[in-house]
Amino acid sequence: MPTSLLLVDLQRDYLPGGRFPLVDANRAVERAALVLGAARRVGAPVVHVRHLSTRSDAAFFLPGTDGALIAPVVAPAPGERVVEKHLPNSFLGTGLAAVLEAAGVDRLVVAGMMTHMCVDATVRAAVDLGYDVVLAADACATRDLEWQGRTVPAVDVQAAFLAALDRRYGRVVSSAEAVALFGGPDLPAQGPGLLPVSKSP
Q: What is the pLDDT of residue 183?
A: 85
| Residues of the chain with confidence (pLDDT) below 70 | 1, 184-201
- In the set 24, 118, 120, 140, the catalytic residue is 118
Q: Are strands 150-152 and 145-147 parallel, antiparallel or unpaired?
A: antiparallel
Q: What is the pLDDT of residue 1?
A: 67
The answer to whether 28 touches 62, Cβ cutoff 8 Å, is no
- Residues with Cβ < 8 Å from 167, sequence gap 6 or more? 200
Q: What is the pLDDT of residue 7?
A: 98
Distance CA 4, CA 43 (A): 10
- In the set 13, 85, 120, 140, the catalytic residue is 85
Q: What is the pLDDT of residue 55?
A: 86
> Which domains are present in the chain?
3-181 (3.40.50.850)
152-157 CB contacts, 8 Å cutoff, 24+ apart: 154/22, 154/23, 154/24, 154/194, 155/23, 155/194, 155/195, 155/196, 157/115, 157/116
Q: What is the pLDDT of residue 18?
A: 97
C-alpha gyration radius of the chain = 16
Active site residue 118: yes
